[in-house]
Amino acid sequence: MKKKNPNNAGVAYLFAAPWIIGFVLFMAYPLISSFYFSFTNYSVLKPAKWVGISNYQELFTDEIFFTCLANTAFYVVGAVPLGTVMAIALALLLNSKVKGLAVYRTLFFLPSLVPMVALGTLFLWVFNGDYGLMNAGLKTVGITPPNWLGDPAWAKWTLILIAMWGCGNAMIIYLAGLQDVPVSLYEAADLDGAKAWAKTKNVTLPMLSPVILFNVIMGMIGSIQVFAVPYVMFPGGAPARSTYFFAAYLYDNAFQFQRMGYASAMGWVMFVITLTLTLVSMKLSEKHVHYEGG
């Protein structure tokens, strides 16, 4: 008589239990709780008091909120395109066959491994007006350096330059994408007499477009959530709140002002903005992203 196969569902759930427990405790519960607290007046130290949509109404009359929103938008518009161009350029450079390629790859990738707090502290010295390496270098070539850390017009650009310096993660992904471009396409372009720029424009970038879309969306999400480096370099959003970003204001409301309910409402606004921009990017990419075999 043939024995029946034992039911393995229990064993499967047992193996999946650590992930399920982690998801419920660290994802689902905080997500649901933050949504509830966004409709309450909650200071962490006292029980939450239901206030309806008052937190959301206050957001639309909060001048600091709109200042932070504008600063964040400026940073996203500056950091994402420039970081994308820089990462693609480095990937194209590293994809060429030159001597010491492994060394160059390591050098370009290492900056992205530096912890954010250490990175902020390092660049406080690099952009220091009196002793900074940046100003010393500009003075050497006869350029009068700006006040990187004290001028509101230059403070955000300082952070954008720092973001470009740490584009190693995106560069590695682009490099992997470049190595998947079929060689036959370049050979066909050579037969047609295409030059280097024509091959880049008509072969490399179209074949790399799915990777570009992924990195742009991830870069946009990361830029919206930028926090550590500005918080270390420009406490309180100095100068004149020109570097006071969305995530920093959310953090201050939650942990400095003990307004966890208001901060939760800000978090959900950030989620809606991020989701909207992601969906718009996906929609706009339909005619510009080319998938192999599509």
pLDDT tens sequence across 129-144: 888 999 999 999 999 9
CA distance 212 to 222: 15
282: which residues sit within 8 A by CB, 6+ positions away? 213, 217
Which whole number is the average pLDDT over 114-125? 93
Please provide the CATH number assigned to the domain covering 53-287.
1.10.3720.10
pLDDT at 3 over 60: no
Predicted local distance difference test score (pLDDT) of residue 106:
87
Which whole number is the average pLDDT over 72-97? 93
Query: Domain segments of the chain: what residues?
Result: 1-37, 53-287
Q: How confident is the model at residue 242 (pLDDT cuts 50, 70, 90)?
A: very high
75, HSE (Cβ side, Cα atoms, 13 Å)? 30
Q: How confident is the model at residue 12 (pLDDT cuts 50, 70, 90)?
A: confident
Predicted local distance difference test score (pLDDT) of residue 45:
87
CA distance 248 to 245: 5
Question: Across all residues in the chain, what is the average pLDDT?
Answer: 92
**Kindly report the CA angle at 180 between 176 and 183, in degrees rounded to 5?**
135
CA distance 9 to 17: 12
Which whole number is the average pLDDT over 40-44? 93
Q: How confident is the model at residue 293 (pLDDT cuts 50, 70, 90)?
A: low
Strands (E) across the chain are located at 40-41, 49-50
pLDDT at 115 over 70: yes
Predicted confidence (pLDDT) per residue in 157-209, tens digit: 999 999 998 899 999 999 999 988 988 999 999 998 989 899 999 999 999 99
Predicted local distance difference test score (pLDDT) of residue 294:
54
Predicted local distance difference test score (pLDDT) of residue 215:
96
DSSP 257: S
